[in-house]
Amino acid sequence: MLPHINDYDALFRQFRWRIPPRYNIGVDVCDRWAACEPRRTAILHIHADGRIEEISYQWLRETSNRLANVLRAHGIARGDRVAILLPQAPEVAAAHIAIYKLATVALPLALLFGVDAIAYRLQNSGAKAVLTNAQGLAKLAGIRDQAPKVKLVLSVDGTADAALGFAETLAKASSDFTPENTSPDDPAMMIYTSGTTGQPKGALHAHRVLLGHMPGVEMPHDFFPQPGDRFWTPADWAWAGGLLDALLPSLHHGVPVIARKLEKFDPEEAFALMARHQVRNAFIPPTALRMLRSAQNPRGRHDLKLRTLGSGGESLGAETYEWGRAAFGLVINEFYGQTECNLVLSSCAMLGVSRPGAIGKPVPGHDVAVIRPDGSRAAAGELGQIAVKRPDPVMFLEYWGRPEATEAKFIGDWMTTGDQGQVDEDGYVQFVGRDDDVITSSGYRIGPGEIEDCLIRHPAVALAAVIGKPDPVRTEIVKAFIVVKSGHAPTDQLASELQTFVKTRLSAHEYPREIAFIDQMPMTTTGKVIRRLLRERA
């Protein structure tokens, strides 16, 4: 979508949306390619034993058509929700495509979810079908009564007591299917918010959401696609980052996607995978990038072919930004968005839009600002809430069954994000923290990001999270939770050293007055720190 204009200001001024009157994601990312280049590689599926399976657009078309026919035969119709509870695999892509072509609504779920989280989403959404595997079936076994509307369960691991076998069932179905005629505003998918602040809400998106994402994918990946591009992300395809920042945009552009099931993120395996499979474009969330810092001399040991590296979901920070330049030999392009309205701010080294500690600037096509409580735009340097103006093709339709929450999301035409930020004189946006993450201490308003960024500069710190702990004198004090690197002991001496480390590098009012060492950082499946749990613990 982005025209090749190598000047950010000119690009922003000249960009225009091109949203067709009829549009279907499934047809766009699959049938369009299958009609002209059926053998073109869509997905490179890397099995646990290292075997590589090439998945063509023809396979995606035939498999999605068969699945669409199976769903229709079981009474699944336009607007019904269909859950996908699977790790990265070709069947996930085929399922999404089938659901879109049937004009039903995809409900991506992460296998890392516990049974309560799965039960809540199935019940709240009223899902009528679930596509999963043996691991997912084991979780569904005890909660089927909590999702009474589910009438069909398909398992990619074969027929089981409570499920039909995916391959066996699809083999009996026709590979011919005429996609439903959908508009860009028809519902296509529902992604639940990560739940960092209370019960997750289902953000319902229309088919236009993919087109709305395209400029925000193309900008941080330096005018993606380029010849030879190949995309990989460790992010689960069950959340917006993996699905809409990587999988679907790559299929839209005909760029091969690496699919690899990860039991857990392993830095050495990640570097090896990118080198072995000549990954050219990667989306790696900030927490995963910080974990990659534990690998020794990656460029010396791995022949990386990366052209672009994008990161988002949490604040990247100046320390990780600078480390990335040394580790990868390229600039990490940070971007920003949220489940309800994703990829609206971005950096782009090719355009000269890159600054340590800043998210970037508005992506062409999006009106993004830092606003005051009354909806007026904040001045440069003034703290306010990051907001996006409607209408916008990437913006959600509504929170499922929560009209009051949908209405509360807006101040006039500004969709509020709940994220505090500020804009500098050059138009760069800096993320300060979630509304409830900003710490008020002795009259100061302190964002946790800068302190966390400082802490991970210390050679003993692997991960750091900062929260405000209630205090009768100062309102709140800064408290840090630390995961130490291997080979370092969590001692009182280290805690004192870290306090001095921050005090001398930032300021006396920002240093953590309390430090707690923990074995594991509480995180959502999207890799975000759950500060609510840390606040409860404090």
Burial class (CB in 10 A: 0-12, 13-18, 19+), 471: middle
pLDDT of residue 525: 65
Residue 10: how many other CB atoms lie within 10 Å: 12
pLDDT of residue 450: 80
| CATH class entry, domain 24-206 | alpha beta
pLDDT of residue 194: 66
What 8-state DSSP symbol labels residue 314? Answer: S
Ranges assigned E (strand) in 323-437: 332-338, 341-346, 361-362, 368-371, 384-389, 398-399, 410-411, 414-423, 429-434
pLDDT of residue 443: 64
Give the DSSP H or E segment for 62.
Answer: helix 57-73
| CATH class entry, domain 1-22+207-366 | alpha beta
User: Tokens 């069954």 appear where?
Assistant: 401
What is 423-477 written as a DSSP string? E-TTS-EEEEEETTT-EEETTEEE-HHHHHHHHTTSTTEEEEEEEEEEETTTEEE
Chain region(s) in the chain for CATH 3.40.50.12780: 1-22+207-366, 24-206
What the block records as the tokens of 464 is 């750091």
Spatial separation of the C-alpha atoms in residues 93 and 287, rounded to whole Å: 26
What is 270-305 written as a DSSP string? HHHHHHHTT--EEE--HHHHHHHTTSSSHHHH----
Spatial separation of the C-alpha atoms in residues 375 and 270, rounded to whole Å: 43
CA 286, 288, 293, 299 torsion: positive or negative? negative
pLDDT of 212-252, one tens digit each? 999 999 999 999 999 999 999 999 999 899 999 999 999 99
Spatial separation of the C-alpha atoms in residues 60 and 179, rounded to whole Å: 14
Q: Are 24 and 100 in contact (CB under 8 A)?
A: yes
Chain region(s) in the chain for CATH 3.30.300.30: 436-537
Q: Where are the alpha helices (DSSP H) in 74-114?
A: 90-101
- Calculate the CA 347 to chain-centre distance: 16
Regions of the chain with pLDDT less than 70: 194-198, 442-445, 525-526
Q: Are 368 and 390 in contact (CB under 8 A)?
A: no
What the block records as the tokens of 313 is 């979901």
Q: Are 456 and 322 in contact (CB under 8 A)?
A: no
Half-sphere exposure of 515 (CA within 13 A, CB side): 26
Residue 35: how many other CB atoms lie within 10 Å: 12
CATH tag, 436-537 = 3.30.300.30
User: Tokens 């606040």 appear where?
Assistant: 535
